[in-house]
């Protein structure tokens, strides 16, 4: 992938539309593919994990061009290691970074070499966490394994380790969407665990907190290129799954969007606009961004 960037498009953009702005360049401290970001609409900031520099970068919401982050969390006290996902709770002022068998929590305004204020980890957590999203209304932290291993061993992250079958995180655990109290700390048990095949295959997520809705990209059979399946070929039958934060156990999605068996092939990112009741999805293989109107899900 030759050119990493964060591009902004008008919500109603269509076709080969040009971005209204793009953040890219040496000053941004980006490295390669940006696997996650978060927009804090309370403080109008964009957060980006730096996979190689083990950092969380914060940009102004209106950042444009080759600009430097206004803050960066990095250094030996951070415990950051290949962060590829981030979530922000602008309401309560906290940053969440999932990395395998743990979730690190930092103050939103942290800058420099700062230790996390909470770390969710331990056997009772059930983590693997590859992705995380926050529901500040219901005070929930929601994790997805995003492991590339749909059934057992949701280590988190889909890392191409090449030394073993399991993802990062050690113990073999069931991949799932896990719903924790937002303030969970240490070896905390999730309040609820959504299992079932679709929940096991969930990757990037977002929420509509006002109604307690979880939107997750579901990538069936995505191996993440782990050893034993180095072909890198995926099923290319992805979709968006919609759950309630009150779902628990072996629960299929309430809605599926864009598939299975429909348009989406290799879905990656997801965002929602509750006002227009639109769900936006990016697809790597189709190299496109789609906007679906799904009022039923909001």
Partner 1 sequence: MAHVVRAWRASRMIRFLVLITVLGTTTRVILSRGAGAVQNGAARQTKIIGSERLVSVEPLTETDGEICIPEPVGGDREQIASLHQENLLSAERQAASPLRISLRPQQSGSAGAAAASVPPRPSDAVRSEVTKRKPISTVRDPRNAFASLVVDAARNEVIFAEENNFSVLVYNRLENTPPRAALSEPKRIIQGENTYLEFACGVYVDPPTGDVYVINNDTLNWMTVWDRNAKGNVKPTRKLHTPMATFGLVADEDNQELLMTVQDDHAVVTFKKNAKDLDGPVRLLQGPKTRMADPHGIAVDPKTGLMYVTNWGTVNERQAGGPPRFGHALWPIGRNNNIPGTGRFEPPSITVFRKDASGDVAPLRVIQGPKTGLDWPTSIAVHPDRGELFVANDTADTVTVYRTTDNGDVAPIRVLKGPKSMIKNPTGVALDLVNNELWVANFGSHSATVFPVDAAGDPSPKRVIRSGRPEEGAPMLGNPHTMAYDSKRDEILVSN
96 lies in the site for partner 1, by CB under 8 A:
no
92 lies in the site for partner 1, by CB under 8 A:
yes
Segment interacting with partner 1 (CB under 8 A) among 33-41, 117-125, 146-154, 193-201: 33-41
Q: Smallest gap, in angstroms, from Cβ of residue 255 to partner 1?
A: 5
Instruction: Report how far residue 238's alpha carbon sits from residue 219's, in angstroms, rounded to the nearest whole number.
Output: 5
Residue corresponding to tokens 């360049």: 25
Q: Which of 22, 119, 174, 235 binds partner 1 (CB under 8 A)?
A: 22
Site for partner 1 in 150-189 (CB under 8 A): 159-164, 168, 181
CA distances from residue 252 to 132, 196, 247, 279 in whole angstroms, order as listed: 19, 6, 9, 19
Q: Which of 112, 123, 186, 274 binds partner 1 (CB under 8 A)?
A: 274
Question: For residue 207, how many other CB atoms are within 10 A of its CB?
Answer: 23
Question: For residue 282, how many other CB atoms are within 10 A of its CB?
Answer: 18
Segment interacting with partner 1 (CB under 8 A) among 117-125, 144-152, 193-201, 281-289: 281-289
272 lies in the site for partner 1, by CB under 8 A:
yes
Contacts of 183 (CB under 8 A, 6+ apart): 118, 139
229 lies in the site for partner 1, by CB under 8 A:
no
Q: Which of 270, 292, 167 is nearest to 222 (CA)?
A: 167
11 lies in the site for partner 1, by CB under 8 A:
yes
CB 245 within 8 A of CB 142: yes
Instruction: Report how far residue 178's alpha carbon sits from residue 280's, in angstroms, rounded to the nearest whole number.
Output: 23
Segment interacting with partner 1 (CB under 8 A) among 121-129, 143-151, 194-202, 280-288: 280-288
Q: Smallest gap, in angstroms, from Cβ of residue 174 to partner 1?
A: 18
Q: CB nearer to partner 1: give 36 or 150.
A: 36
Q: CB nearer to partner 1: give 107 or 260.
A: 260
Q: Which of 164, 162, 166 is nearest to 130 (CA)?
A: 166
5 lies in the site for partner 1, by CB under 8 A:
yes
119 lies in the site for partner 1, by CB under 8 A:
no
Q: Which of 168, 151, 143, 284 is nearest to 226 (CA)?
A: 168
């Amino acid at each position: 992938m030759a050119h990493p960037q964060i591009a902004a498009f008008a919500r109603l953009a269509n076709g080969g539309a040009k971005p209204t702005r793009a953040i890219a360049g040496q000053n941004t401290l980006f490295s390669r593919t940006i696997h996650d970001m978060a927009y804090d609409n309370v403080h109008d900031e964009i957060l980006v994990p730096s996979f190689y520099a083990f950092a969380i970068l914060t940009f102004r919401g209106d950042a444009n061009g080759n600009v430097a982050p206004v803050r960066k969390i990095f250094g030996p006290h951070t415990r950051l290691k290949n962060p590829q996902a981030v979530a922000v709770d602008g309401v309560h002022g906290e940053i969440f970074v999932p990395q395998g068998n743990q979730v690190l929590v930092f103050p939103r305004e942290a800058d420099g070499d700062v230790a996390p204020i909470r770390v969710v980890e331990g056997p009772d957590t059930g983590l693997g966490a590859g992705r995380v999203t926050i529901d500040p209304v219901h005070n929930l932290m929601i994790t997805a394994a995003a492991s590339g291993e749909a059934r057992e061993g949701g280590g988190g992250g889909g890392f191409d380790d090449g030394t073993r079958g399991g993802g990062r995180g050690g113990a073999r655990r069931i991949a799932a969407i896990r719903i924790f109290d937002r303030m969970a700390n240490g070896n905390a048990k999730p309040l609820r665990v959504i299992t079932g095949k679709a929940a096991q295959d969930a990757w990037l997520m977002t929420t509509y907190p006002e109604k307690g809705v979880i939107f997750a990209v579901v990538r069936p059979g995505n191996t993440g290129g782990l050893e034993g399946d180095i072909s890198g070929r995926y099923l290319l039958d992805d979709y968006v799954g919609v759950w309630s934060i009150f779902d628990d156990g072996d629960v299929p999605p309430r809605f599926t969007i864009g598939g299975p068996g429909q348009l989406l092939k290799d879905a990656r990112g997801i965002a929602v606009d509750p006002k227009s009741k639109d769900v936006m999805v990016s697809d790597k293989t189709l190299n496109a961004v789609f906007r679906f109107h799904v009022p039923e899900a909001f």
